[in-house]
Amino acid sequence: MPTCPAPVRPLDDAAAAELTALAAKLLADHNAATSPELLAALPGTCAQLSDTVRHALRPVDTADGLFVLRGLHVDDTALGPTPGHWSSVGDAGALWDVVLLLVSTSMGTPIAWDGQQDGRFVHNIVPSPGHESEQTGASSDVLLTPHTEDAFHPGRAHLLLLCCLRNHDDIATTAASIRRTALGQADVERLKRPVVPILPDDAYEEAQRFAGRPAPVPTLFAAPEGLTMRFDPAYTPLDEADAEWREAYRRLEDELARVSVAVGLEPGDVLVVDNDVVVHGRVPFTARYDGTDRWLKRASVRAGGRPTRPAAERGEHGYGQAALTAWPA
């Protein structure tokens, strides 16, 4: 697997200082990164960004389906220890919550989930004791299988942002674009059929208890700019599908593995992923739980008017989960 070939958009020192200064002012004015008033102020603050910064913060625009925004600087000492669980983070790294919200708002509308991390618009991704073998961001010992973020839900993000605060062990994030694969047309046509559902992952305990019948969804969809994808094999009941469909799905997995890249994020890097084009995961690692483990901030963004999903998704129940927006639509 290639290491860190992802396109990089550099921020020079002046641009990085501009972005962090605006974030620091927002945080000082509103006292907390979770403040509703701070969320409401994001669009007006983004309008103050220079053309140079706004150009760097444009959405993904290549078939790679991702890029790394590089040039921000994290003070490892001032950051404090990596928390052992998202619920114990408090206001640690709050400046980077606001930086990530500004980057998100430049690309669309930040969204959150009422059933995940208390409805926060920025999630903390840290290894947590007792979760080592799960297929969630809190795991460590296992390969986090490549997947579409929140694939079970029709209101899932169009863009996923991961901001690296600490990564002493150079733990790679994996990514694979459907538009780099060479899947046969017969397989593409099979995987466009809604055959099996995608179930809620272990981060959504309430959604897993939803009483409604899971609806089959297509894995692939033809959009104007190319194929898009809705993919989460760890939470897809593949044994409910016919043999030909399962074989096509297996070949898709093989193709995604073939084109997968390993992105080594440095502190201050923001990885931006097109969630309709790229699946992402993470290599296994051994967590120490000593305050020095990998620590990412995660944000989800909805972009209006994108013809990247089947119209039938609008009728899905989403397992009772509601997506929250940072400000009224």
**3-class secondary structure per residue, the chain:** CCECCCCEEECCHHHHHHHHHHHHHHHHHHCCCCCHHHHHHHHHHHCCCCHHHHHHCCCCCCCCCEEEEECCCCCHHHHCCCCCCHHHCCCCCHHHHHHHHHHHHHHCEEEEECCCHHHCCCEEECCCCCCCCCCCCCCCCCCEEEECCCCCCCCCCCEEEEEEEECCCCCCEEEEEHHHCCCCHHHHHHHCCCCECCCCCCCCHHHHCCCCCCCCECCEEEECCEEEECCCHHHCCHHHCCHHHHHHHHHHHHHHHHHCEEECCCCCCEEEEECCCEEEEECCCCCCCCCCCCEEEEEEEECCCCCCCCHHHHHCCHHHCCEEECCCC
173 is in an annotated binding site: yes
55 is in an annotated binding site: no
Q: Is 206 annotated as a binding residue?
A: no
The answer to the question of whether 149 is labelled as a binding residue is yes
Task: Establish whether 251 is an annotated binding residue.
Answer: no
Residues at the binding site for 2-oxoglutarate are 173, 294, 298
Residues at the binding site are 147, 149, 173, 280, 294, 298
Residues at the binding site for Fe cation are 147, 149, 280
